[in-house]
Amino acid sequence: MKFKIPREKIKQAVSVAEKITGKDASLPILGNIMLKAEDNYLSVIATNLETGIIWDLLAKTETAGSAVLPAGIFSGLVSSLPGSTLLIDKKNDTVSVVDEKTKSNLISLAPEEFPTLPIIDGGDYFNVRADIFCQALTQVANFSGTSSVKPEINGVCVVIENDNIKIVATDGFRLGEKKISTAGKGLLSKKYSIILPARAVREIVAVFGNFQKNIIVYLSDNQIMIDFSDDDGGGRSRIRFMSRLIDGEFPDYQAIIPDAHTTQIGFLKKEILFQLKPAQIFSGKNSEITVEVSVKDKVAKIASRAADFGGYEGETGLLVAEGKDIAIVFNNRFLIDGLSAITADECFLGFSGDDGPALLRSKTGDDFIYIIMPIKKY
């Protein structure tokens, strides 16, 4: 194996791939990156057996071949070298990395021992703009669970039907749903409801979040593959990211979304957050706060109390207040999380009595909704 490549090109790919390597002591090869050179392309490959990546870069290949190098060491080396172009040459098990002023040597493991990544070749797929998809994943990802008995809530559910995509996460106490649309023509033989593991969501956002172009998402019953190609002026590159899916059925969350409200209020997000943040100090280990709405006065009072050292009370005016007066207890951190996920300045909060789910959204749109369960006081 022998090839030349701009350092910045391989630096970016190796830095991303390093984060996808595995830490399994029983399979130490997963802590390595494979380099595969052929046909004037270099493939940077990494996997942890749950997710994997193949990043193809244009390179000047003199001799085809493969090498398997320690991810952290190779990434650190490529990042720290001063040169603009690298010559990487493998002879026997020794890989030399040469730039204009330096030469380093690394020992390669046997390429045939590196796992083969499962590529989805054809089948059902949809197109979506990368940054919009990643923003939607980010908007709901913090609401997923960490349950040992319900693994199906430990990731993000993606529902694809026709041109519509719903991205949902819940931990059983709150739920976020973001709606976006596909981009361009896809091929779907059925409605899909898949559950992405939390790690896969983080990696997808890290790899594709800054791309303002379409990605192709291929689907199967137990895996997805995201395919992105781009000509950035330095030659065409291609990224393929694979992830296993969480096995199981996501909860039927539609049943808990209220379609009517006993009380509904409109408010400026920043005004409520001004009250919730100091209330958090006194909210105790369960992060409990009381929200009391006076419809007539168009005021929301927020209070929290810590038995050991005091309490907090504050109030804010409301833009809209309709229905019945209400006093309800929420987890304050969950309420702050929901408000922080909304990008609009004006928000709507609908209550279903003092023991039913509350619905939070922006004033004007329902492309993002947040459901939060109250804390029942007996």
Identify the CATH assignment for 2-113 out of 1.10.3210.10, 1.10.150.120, 3.10.150.10, 3.10.450.40. Answer: 3.10.150.10
Report the topology of domain 125-253. DNA Polymerase III; Chain A, domain 2 (3.10.150)
Identify the CATH assignment for 258-372 out of 3.10.150.10, 3.40.50.620, 3.40.1280.10, 3.50.50.60. Answer: 3.10.150.10
Give the pLDDT of residue 221.
85
Q: pLDDT tens digits, residue range 307-331?
A: 888 999 999 999 999 999 999 999 9
Give the pLDDT of residue 307.
81
3-class SS letters over the chain: CEEEEEHHHHHHHHHHHHCCCCCCCCCHHHHEEEEEEECCEEEEEEECCCEEEEEEEECEEEECEEEEEEHHHHHHHHHHCCCCEEEEEEECCEEEEECCCCEEEEECECHHHCCCCCCCCCCCEEEEEHHHHHHHHHHHHCCCCCCCCCHHHCEEEEEEECCEEEEEEECCCEEEEEEEECCCCCECCCCEEEEEEHHHHHHHHHHHCCCCCEEEEEECCCEEEEEEEEECCCCEEEEEEEEECCCCCCCCHHHHCCCCCCEEEEEEHHHHHHHHHHHHHCCCCCCEEEEEEECCCCEEEEEEEECCCEEEEEEEECCEEEECCEEEEEEHHHHHHHHHCCCCCEEEEEECCCCCCEEEEECCCCCEEEEECCCCCC
Q: pLDDT tens digits, residue range 335-369?
A: 999 999 999 999 999 999 999 999 999 998 889 99
pTM of the model: 0.94
**Mean pLDDT confidence for 15-30:** 93
Give the pLDDT of residue 234.
54
**Mean pLDDT confidence for 75-94:** 96
Task: Return residue ranges of the chain for CATH 3.10.150.10.
Answer: 2-113, 125-253, 258-372
